[in-house]
Each structure stands twice: as C-alpha cells, then as structure tokens.
Chain A
Amino acid sequence: MAEPTAALSGAVVRYHGRPALGPIDLSIAPGEIVALVGASGAGKSTILRLLAGLEPSSDGRVDRTTAPGRTGFVFQAATLMPWADARTNVALPLQLAGVSPSEARRRADEALAGVGLGDRLTARPRQLSGGMAMRVSLARALVTEPELLLLDEPFAALDSVTRRHLIEDLHRLWAARSPRPAIVFVTHDVEEAVYLAGRVLVLDAATGRIAAEHISPGALPRPGGWRMDNHYRSAVEDLAQALADAMTASPTQAA
C-alpha cells in the first residue's frame, strides 16, 4: 500500500488546556476523496488546519508527504484579495514560491480556464458572482498542482444549483489530474458528502473524535443521474442516521 499523503496519529488539540479535538487517527491515501461531516464546533475545520500545518497539534503526530507548497486550501469564503484581479489572485501561490511572473501568469490563466473562467482573467472579485469567486478560489488552490487539497465547507454559501455545478467541476478537475490529488472536504451536507467522497467520516462534537466511517458506494467521479440511484439514496439515509446519532450523543451541542 502506498504511503499516505497525510496522516494524523493520536492528534489532540487543546485550547487553554481544555481538549477541543481528538485523539484523532486518520490516514489520507494518495488520490482519495474524504469528506468530514459533523455538527458545528465538532472540530472539522481544526482537522483541516492540522493537515495543512496551519495549526500545531497539542499531542500526537501529524505527517505529510506532500512537497512544500503542494497543499491547496479552499476556505468557506472565496478569500480573494479584493484589490487584485482574478489572474493575480490565482497566481499568488506561484509568485510566493518565486515562479517567474510570466510563468505564473501563464499557469494562472490555464487554471482559470480549467474552472471555466478563461474569459474573466482581469475581473476584480467584486465583479464576480459568489459561484465565480469560489471558482477563482478553487483555481488558486489547484494552480500549484497540489498533492493534497483541503476544502473547508467551500460551497456552503452558494445556492444549490451552483453548488452542484461546482461539485461536478471538482470531480472533473480531480479526475483529469495525473496523479490525482487527495482531497479532504468538510461539509455539513450529508448528500454532498456521499456524492463527492469515497469515504465519509462522522465527527462527534461531544467527544471530539471520529464516531463513524462510511464508504460511499460506486466509483468516482459519479456517472450522470447517480443521484437517482438507490445505492446513493440509502447511503445518504445511513449517513444522516449516523450523523444524527453523533449529534444526539451530545445534548449540549444539539441546542
């Protein structure tokens, strides 16, 4: 078996001495898509920040085999620099890595074309819709050819149609890469989790641990009309039940 792209071993996060998360054991294989679901405050975003190295673990180990700069992160908001156009925003990770301006620009244009914004290279963030801004954000995360892509409820603020389009796009972009990047995706939408991921982890807010692991049926990316499939529907039901169990186990969080 290949070495995991990223792994947490007994990782614990404490704030002011009080345990907030863990211990968590989690291994992300190269090219797999993992969804993290759980109630608000369960520590989903903390796991992503641990994996990204943006936050230290108080205890346990965090391992990553990704090369420096080859981890992409997409936040809940598009998080673009409002003073810069789409191209400059997308080129940012390359420029920070010291890639020459012309090369950075070429690759940024390519990444933007990849998310369907090849005609909006010089648009400012305020000139873009919420969905477009999120695509720019996705292009920025992909421009460094990441081995690990971390997404923190990236589509939560979008309408359901735009959200579906973006999920299809994410699958398409993931499948088109060779090798495929590993993706860890935080969501509180059960259907989104089942559709997008091969493996779904349910986080329990009360204990700060992983309460259940579900394997989504079928291959990735999903064939057209898969949302009508019975396997999909029963998987969604099962996961919804698991999530409800994890949430009722923590009455203080349910309120």
Chain B
Amino acid sequence: MTRPVPPLLLTALLLAAWEVACRTLHVPDYFLPPPSAVAVALIDRAQVLAASAAATFWMAMQALIVAALLGGGLALIVSLSRSAERAVRPLAVALQVTPVVAIAPLVLIWTGLDHADRAVVALAAAVAFFPLFSGVLTGLKAADPDLERLFDLYGATPVQRLIRLRLPAALPFMLEGLRVASGLAVIGAVVAEFVSGSGATQGLAWRLLEAGNRLRTADMLAALALLMVMGLALNALVGALERSVRRRTS
C-alpha cells in the first residue's frame, strides 16, 4: 500500500511550508492563519461545523437524487425516440450553460424565502442534472450495434432490449455521470447557499459567510477544509462503486 504515500507526503510538505512561512513572516491571523490555527478552529468549532457539513451534505444528496431521477428518467424516455431527443437536448444544454448564480434569486422567490433549503436543493439539482441526463442518454445508445442487430433478428420487444441490452451497456456511463454530478451537487449546494444568503440553511457555506463577516479567517479555512474532505469522500465513494460495477460487468 504505497499508493497514498506520495500525495500525503506532498500535503504534509505544503502544510509545513505554510506553517513556517506564517511564523517567520509574521503574517497577521486575519489575513492568513497558519494550519495549526485552522486545526484549532476545526477542533473548537467541531460540533457546529459537523452539523453544518451534515446539512450541506444532505442537501447535496437530495439534489443528487432529484437530478438522478429527473435526468435519468428523462434520458430513458428520450432514448426511445429520436425526435424527442432532438426536442429535449437543446433545453438540457440551455439549463447546463445558465449560471446557477443567475437563476438562484428566481428559484428563491418560487420556493419562498422561508424555504431556502428547498431552493438550495433545487439549484444544486439543476447543476447536477446535465451530467446525469447526458451520461444515461449516451450510455443507452452505446450498445454494440451488432448486438442491437441481434436483438432485431430475434424480434426483441422494446422492454427486453432496454433491460437486457441498453441498461447494462449504459451502466458505466451512468456511473461516470454520477461521479461528475456528485461533485457538481456539492458545488451547486454551496453556491446556492451563498446566494440565498440566509442562515436558514445552516450549511457550510453559511459558516463561511458568517466567519468571513467577522474576519475569523481560521474558521473560514476550517469550513473550507471540511468542504474539500466532503468532495473527496464523495468522489472516492462513487469511484469505488464504479470500480466494483466494472469488475462485475466486464
């Protein structure tokens, strides 16, 4: 198990350099606190930060589930008809290229200012939608054309074709879409929290804003570190899922 050693070593080196630089250059704490101060903040505010991280994580997960159901479901329907795909794809792309920040105020109005968490879920779902839709749709059309012909030859029904051929062939593409979408869902949740600008969500982004307003830079960095760990954990989780499916299906 030597694989995780190089990145850990590099991280340790960077942290040490940061610590040394802060101490020798007497950088003020409000500007850039040393890693040790961030660690202290992490421990001191562990309870609050953990609760906030859980809130953000839960909102991102809800968004991912919504996006998977909507994106995957729509892709499934669209895959059955070429004209449906032609109709839907430009709209999906339009949704993808519209900055989430720009539609956030609108979504906030629709969900009601008292339900900022719903707005966050909706916005994060909007961001995570496209990779799932696109992944599932691409996957459903990725089956070997000769296998498709074989299903033609034996007179397969559309349902048989979907279950026995297209869904299994689409699985790796779906998981790739899920991996991209899970990262985007966290980003979308944080951005949406920022834009909603209310403490109602009590997520990590709110902790960042709160600490920033009070110039508690160490607290900001602690929240940021948690966000990073959350992103990495999610990525590793989906990556492990992807590998296990690939082992089983190829």
Q: Which residues of A contact B (CB under 8 A)?
A: 49, 52-54, 68-69, 71, 73, 75, 77, 79, 81-84, 92-93, 95-97, 124, 126, 144
Contacts and interface: CB of A to CB of B under 8 A. Distances in A.
A206 B132 CA distance: 47
Contact of B147 (A79, A95, A126): A79
A92 B165 CA distance: 10
A81 B147 contact: yes
Contact of A54 (B152, B168, B248, B250): B152
A212 to B, nearest CB: 29
Main secondary structure of the interface of B (DSSP, over half): helix
Contact of A81 (B156, B168, B248): B168
Nearest to A77: B146
Contacts of A79: 144, 146-147, 150
A54 B153 contact: yes
A49 B155 CA distance: 15
A219 B12 CA distance: 78
A100 B180 CA distance: 41
Closest 3 CB pairs of A and B: A83-B249, A79-B146, A96-B154
Contact of B153 (A52, A77, A81, A82): A52
A96 B156 contact: yes
Interface of B: 144, 146-147, 149-156, 160, 164-165, 168-169, 171, 248-250
Contacts, number: 51
Contacts of B144: 79
A68 B171 CA distance: 31
A97 B154 contact: yes
Contacts of B150: 73, 75, 79, 92-93
A96 B149 contact: no
21 contacts: A49-B149, A54-B152, A54-B153, A69-B155, A73-B149, A73-B153, A75-B149, A77-B146, A79-B144, A79-B146, A79-B147, A81-B164, A83-B168, A83-B248, A83-B250, A92-B154, A93-B150, A96-B151, A96-B155, A96-B156, A144-B154
B167 to A, nearest CB: 10
A188 B232 CA distance: 54
Contacts of A144: 154
Contacts of A84: 168
B79 to A, nearest CB: 18
Contacts of A82: 249-250
Nearest to B156: A96
Given A83-B168, A92-B164, A54 B154 contact: no
A92 B149 CA distance: 13
B141 to A, nearest CB: 16
Given A96-B155, A97-B154, A126 B250 contact: yes
Contacts of A68: 155
A81 B155 contact: no
A96 B160 contact: yes
A52 B151 CA distance: 12
Contacts of A77: 146
A54 B249 contact: no
Contact of B165 (A69, A71, A81, A97): A81
Nearest to A95: B164
Contacts of A92: 150, 154, 164
A195 to B, nearest CB: 26
Contact of B154 (A49, A69, A124): A69
Given A81-B164, A83-B169, 15 more contacts: A53-B153, A54-B149, A54-B152, A54-B153, A73-B149, A75-B149, A75-B150, A77-B146, A79-B146, A79-B147, A82-B249, A83-B250, A84-B168, A95-B164, A96-B154
A92 B249 CA distance: 17
Contacts of A75: 146, 149-150
Contacts of B249: 82-83
Contacts of A95: 164
Nearest to A152: B146
Nearest to A69: B154
A64 B17 CA distance: 79
Query: Among B146, B154, B171, which residue has the most Cβ atoms of chain A within 10 A?
Result: B154
